[in-house]
Amino acid sequence: MSTRRRRRATGRAQYRCVCGHELKKYWAFCSNCGRGQQWKDLDHLTGAECYRCGWVVSDTFSFCPWCDADIHEEGYSSERPLKAPRGFRMDARCDWGCGGGVQYPMPYCPWCGRPQSWNEEDLFEGECPHCHRGVDDLMNVCPWCGLDATGRDLIPRALTRVRRLLLVSRIRDWGYRVLLRPGVSGVDPRWPKAVEIEQRYVIGSKRRDEIPWTMLVGLLTHELGHSFLYHHWDWTRSRRFRRAFGEVDKAYRGMDNTWVYFQRRRVAIAPRDFVSAYAAKHPQEDFAEVFRFYVTRRGRLRDLFAEFGQKRKGVILYEKFLVLHDFVRALRGWSELR
Ligand SMILES: [Zn+2]
Ligand SMILES: [Zn+2]
Ligand SMILES: [Zn+2]
Ligand SMILES: [Zn+2]
Ligand SMILES: [Zn+2]
């Protein structure tokens, strides 16, 4: 996930939504409450607003750079494309080579009306799974298209199932946040709560990569295992944890780039001390797989252990599940005491 950026904008908040949330100029929607925004000519920069969307424009434009309405007016609109008329900057030239200048984040060229693309990698942490423009991990609504910036609206069924499974397994919500993003599925140890799921599995362009929602549940619970472990990292230093799982080196970052591994719901016969073949790859994968089985089997150790018995699994595997089980119980105990 090398494309991940974590730069925060500096400087004072200048614009706020009526809900109080900070906005960047020319965001079409508030990223917090989803209200549509309208950027009028409040500062009297140009003395002109688009007849259709009401946003600030220049008399020299031929098209509204915000909604693409034809606003050409004889005698006002410039005969040839300009770079930056009063009230606007030139941040780039039009993508289509009409010769005009465009200002970030205009979606359309004010001179030729054609759509513009912006490289927002350094401005945002990720991209919206709906419109592919830049969004941050904590945004609920995409400031560009107004849809769910996390993409969770695309996998409601799997998420509902996962929430229910966590509930019946009695695992308290640790504040995880599922995000559909391009790249690979995984959790970055620096941001333990952000659980990224490869969006191609869900919104494959040719629907070829799409995976059934039941398998998505397996992938999600595996990734949540990574998130849970990073969130409770101190626990990995306990003797009991280390005896069961070994040394989990935090530098490791799981790159779970195939869902196929996480579809099995039955315990594998080999390898003997692991719940699945994938678990043997790394102690952190081992934990994520134990977590996945624990959650998808609803924390019912009796059923799981019966299956281990039939499959002659190693004693250490029982211990891995007991370590997790006791930890989950302890977490619950602490929260009930508070
Ligand atoms: Zn708002
Ligand atoms: Zn407009
Ligand atoms: Zn143009
Ligand atoms: Zn969007
Ligand atoms: Zn993994």
Distance 119 CA to ligand 3 centre (A): 17
Distance 57 CA to ligand 2 centre (A): 8
Distance 75 CA to ligand 2 centre (A): 20
- Spatial neighbors of 291 by CB under 8 A, at least 6 apart, are 221, 222, 224, 225, 228, 229, 324
Q: Are strands 186-187 and 194-198 parallel, antiparallel or unpaired?
A: antiparallel
Q: Are strands 101-102 and 126-127 parallel, antiparallel or unpaired?
A: unpaired
Q: How far apart are CA 280 and CA 291, in angstroms?
A: 14
**Predicted local distance difference test score (pLDDT) of residue 71:** 97
Tens digit of pLDDT for each residue in 78-106?
A: 999 999 999 999 999 999 999 999 999 99
The number of the ligand nearest the C-alpha atom of 34 reads 1
Give the DSSP H or E segment for 186.
strand 186-187
The number of the ligand nearest the C-alpha atom of 22 reads 1
pTM for the full model? 0.86
Q: Which of 6-20, 105-119, 274-288 has the lowest mean pLDDT?
A: 6-20
Cis peptide, bond prior to residue 189, ω within 30 of zero: no
Distance 305 CA to ligand 4 centre (A): 46
- Spatial neighbors of 117 by CB under 8 A, at least 6 apart, are 95
Tens digit of pLDDT for each residue in 248-291?
A: 987 777 777 777 778 788 899 999 999 999 999 999 999 999 99
Amino acid at 284: Q
Listed residues: CB within 5 A of ion ligand 3: 94, 96, 98, 100, 109, 111-112
The number of the ligand nearest the C-alpha atom of 110 reads 3
Q: DSSP string covering 101-147, please?
A: EE-TT-SB-TTT--B-----TTT-SEE-TTT--EE-TT-SB-TTT-S
The number of the ligand nearest the C-alpha atom of 153 reads 4
Tens digit of pLDDT for each residue in 305-329?
A: 999 999 999 999 999 999 999 999 9
**Predicted local distance difference test score (pLDDT) of residue 260:** 73
Distance 137 CA to ligand 4 centre (A): 13
The number of the ligand nearest the C-alpha atom of 68 reads 2
**Predicted local distance difference test score (pLDDT) of residue 214:** 82
Distance 76 CA to ligand 3 centre (A): 18
Alpha-carbon distance values, 275 to 74, 233, 272, 292 (Å): 74, 22, 8, 10
Distance 49 CA to ligand 2 centre (A): 8
Q: How far apart are CA 289 and CA 268, in angstroms?
A: 11
For residue 161, give the 3-state DSSP assignment: helix
Distance 57 CA to ligand 3 centre (A): 15
Distance 38 CA to ligand 2 centre (A): 10
The number of the ligand nearest the C-alpha atom of 26 reads 2
